[in-house]
Structure 1
Amino acid sequence: MYSVASAKQLSLGDEINYITASLHHELNMIIMSRLPLGLKNPKAFHEGLASFAVLYSAFEAALDSHIRLASTPVRTRAILEHIYIPALHRSSVFEHDLAQYRPSSPEKPAEEGPEQEKVTPPEEPREETAGLSKGTPARAYVLEYIRRATTERPHVLLAYCHCLYMALFAGGQHIKAAIARSAARKLALAPHQTVPEKEVAAAPGIGLFSFDGRSTKEELELRQRLRDGLRQAEELLTPRERGEVLAESCEVFKLTRRLVDELDVLCGTNPTVLAATTQYTESKASNATLPPPQPARTSLVGISRRWLGRSFEPAVKGVVICLALFVAYSFYESSRPAFEGRHRGDGV
């Protein structure tokens, strides 16, 4: 256990990251192990989109409601306005991607004549998702849970914004790259053909990790804006509210895990994959011992750990030791004439 004094030196975002580290690692490992399976199966991939659409749409709707309602307490609105960044909202992106889904047959349809190729069925966006499982138990549970939690304790929306939006900038970029590679292979008409970037960017799922055509630099600025907003919002929280935000951050990962576990059932994930994942996560959970959270370091070693990573820390320590020895030697060399002169004077 760590002391309250050391915990208070952490920002709210850093403390959320600390207390959810094991849940985050486990969930990330499960999602990345399922992603290749989903990329091979359009139905499974879009079931995944539908599940995550519920998660993001539910908390974004609650956030939007509290911001717009006149009955929202002034202090609550002030807290939420700091993390209300419409450019981050994903609900409309999910709607766009799910609207593109059409259940497909595993067999390639027979070629039709020129006249038949021109005939296309009328667009019916509401029915294009008919192949998806809409009212699943996990999705219904997540919707109701978020509605109830954010109605009773609106400030816990800080946990949802931090966990789910920051995920888009972190592991989400690896998912985006995997989806892009898969889309490029499917769109290519011949091996090694270069597919226009615009076509790849339009593939379902990629838009979730892009922000209205912003450049990488602009996306980093958007992420920093979220971090700054969370820091400003936490200053308005009472100790009890801060504790509730921290507790809710764990629930965010548990809700996501519930959705992912249900996808294994809906999509018929291979039992071998399930067994391997279960064995791995159980072994990690039994051996997990988190170190106490550390406040921000201001030393050279601390700076190196943040910017260069832990693998560089021994090298930096070596450099520090060498510098110390060099300074000591330089001092000795500069002082040696005085010492030698004094010694000769004493001898006379």
Structure 2
Amino acid sequence: MDYPANGSSQTPKSLASDMVSATRPMHTKINKLITSRLPLAVPPKAPDSGPYACGLLYILPIYMTFEQLWLDILDTPPGDAPGQISERVHTILKEIHLPQLFRSDRLRADIKFITGWTDDILDLQINSVKGTGELSVFISHIQQAVRAKPHVLIAYSYNLFMALFAGGRFIRATLEKAGAEFWQIVPETIKPTMQSCEVDSFIDSSLEQIEEDNLMPLRFWAFDSENDGEDLKQEYKSKLLQWESELSAEEREDILQESVYILESIGLLVGQLDAVCSAVQDEETPVVQIPMRPSLAGLVGGTQFGARLRDSLLIARERGIGNPFRGKPQDAVEKEKGTSHGDGTTSTEPACSGVPKSMRFAKSLPIPPRKHRAAKDGGSGFDLHTTSQRRDASGTLIGPALVGVFGLFFLYVVYSRVGGVIV
């Protein structure tokens, strides 16, 4: 039995298999992100196809960018400026190029069918969104990466074309279930620019081919072939397998890394779409006034309550009590510490004479700082120290003083409620 020279009987993995393995964690995450948001584009949550058109507006610039770069490379002879692409890589990209897989024209047709926009209006909308957020970063990266390493176009073609045959079939079936009547409803505006749709040009003469799809603008997910693209998928994979041996190990690694970046960028793009939709929704949602409980300042500032508080303080002064909220004189404090006798001495007997002298009261346990945990529904976590732990500028604990003041205030409120008078 003959064995390979390196002593291994394993067959090397194909480039396609390596891309699948490298992107598997992100691929699972992206599937969950997209499928969880798909119901937002169809009834009953979507009144029309506006949300779907908004999503297509953010996908179209991605396909337009890498597909146009691919065509520019094929139109440029190997080695000529500004491409500086080797004849070997030029040949690989030429051989795996299948025009039927390109999606830009179909995406434009779907958006125009939904909105009734002309090409000029659509171009303005594309330019508006592709310069924002994560989409802008992604577009700039595609341009720089492909110009520096043209072979990474293989990563874009595999991940963005082949995905239409896997999860794309499920998405297409979900959208078709909405029915032709749903797709014929003309939205008023399209996010994020809130550009109005053109009802009069709802069905343009240039979109006659969509009639074959039962008037549903889902050409992005369909292919012009006998087997609805399955034959194109097999042809692409066969050509890639045939020519991938011409790639160097470094070029293969570049393609794998770019595949991971593509899926990560799509995940960030979903987040950008979430932010766009939620921001517009917040603007359209009316502000609801929440009833507020009466505040302490409001109670003190009340006419009736403030008058009663002032009267109580005046009565206290007339009877020689002074301001009950002020601190006591030093001699009064000394008297509270012990009982004064006629000979000038002061005893320190405890207030409760029945308590044995051997008994000792335990010191108050220190109050640990408390920390609120972040609420599951979006509340932010923060440290909240009790009032008794705060200090003033001199370093003295101000908690007990505040507790005393609010305690007196609380007693006053309770006592005044039952008709009492502070004396």
TM-score, normalised relative to structure 2: 0.52
Aligned mate of 1:65, from 55, 72, 96? 72
- Secondary structure, aligned partner of 1:182: coil
Q: Measure, in 2, the Cα distance between the counterparts of 1:66 and 1:256.
A: 25
In the alignment, residue 91 of structure 2 is paired with which amino acid? A
Q: Measure, in 2, the Cα distance between the counterparts of 1:144 and 1:87.
A: 26
Give the corresponding residue for 1:320: none
Q: CA offset at residue 258 of structure 1?
A: 1.8
> Which structure carries more helix by proportion?
1
Contact 2:49 2:183 in 1 (8 A): no
Aligned mate of 2:99, from 76, 86, 89? 86
Give the corresponding residue for 2:263: 253
- 1:205-284 residue pairs with structure 2 within 5 A? 206-212=218-224, 214-216=225-227, 219-268=229-278
Distance 1:152 1:8, change over 3 A: farther
Contact 1:87 1:211 in 2 (8 A): yes
Deviations 1:263-311 (A, max 9, x none): 101112999xxx99x9xxxxxxxxxxxxxxxxxxxxxxxxxxxxxxxxx
Distance 1:77 1:256, change over 3 A: same
Distance 1:179 1:6, change over 3 A: farther
Q: Measure, in 1, the Cα distance between the counterparts of 2:10 and 2:26.
A: 19
How many residues are treated as equivalent by the alignment? Answer: 241
Greater than 3 Å deviation, 4+ residue runs: 5-8, 128-133, 197-202
Give the corresponding residue for 1:151: 147
Distance 1:86 1:129, change over 3 A: closer
Give the corresponding residue for 1:33: 36
Give the corresponding residue for 1:176: 172
Contact 1:98 1:129 in 2 (8 A): no
Contact 2:180 2:214 in 1 (8 A): no
Q: CA offset at residue 259 of structure 1?
A: 1.4
Q: CA offset at residue 43 of structure 1?
A: 2.8
In the alignment, residue 166 of structure 1 is paired with which amino acid? M
The alignment status of 1:45 with 2:52, answered yes or no, reads yes
Give the corresponding residue for 2:193: none
Distance 1:85 1:7, change over 3 A: farther
Give the corresponding residue for 2:112: 99
Q: CA RMSD in A?
A: 3.0
Gaps of 5+ in 2: 1-7, 186-209, 283-374, 379-423
Q: Measure, in 2, the Cα distance between the counterparts of 1:232 and 1:18.
A: 20
Contact 1:80 1:233 in 2 (8 A): no
Deviations 1:23-73 (A, max 9, x none): 001101110111110231533211210111111111111111111112242
Contact 1:180 1:200 in 2 (8 A): no
TM-score, normalised relative to structure 1: 0.62
Contact 1:83 1:161 in 2 (8 A): no
Q: Measure, in 1, the Cα distance between the counterparts of 2:140 and 2:170.
A: 30
In the alignment, residue 97 of structure 1 is paired with which amino acid? D
Q: CA offset at residue 129 of structure 1?
A: 7.5
In the alignment, residue 173 of structure 1 is paired with which amino acid? R
Distance 1:63 1:7, change over 3 A: farther
Q: Measure, in 2, the Cα distance between the counterparts of 1:154 and 1:268.
A: 37
Aligned mate of 2:15, from 12, 17, 28? 12
Distance 1:81 1:131, change over 3 A: closer
Q: Which of 1 and 2 has greater Rg?
A: 2
Distance 1:55 1:139, change over 3 A: same
Q: CA offset at residue 131 of structure 1?
A: 7.2
Distance 1:68 1:86, change over 3 A: same
Give the corresponding residue for 2:121: 127
Distance 1:227 1:128, change over 3 A: closer
Aligned residues with identical type, % of pairs = 29
The alignment status of 1:23 with 2:19, answered yes or no, reads no
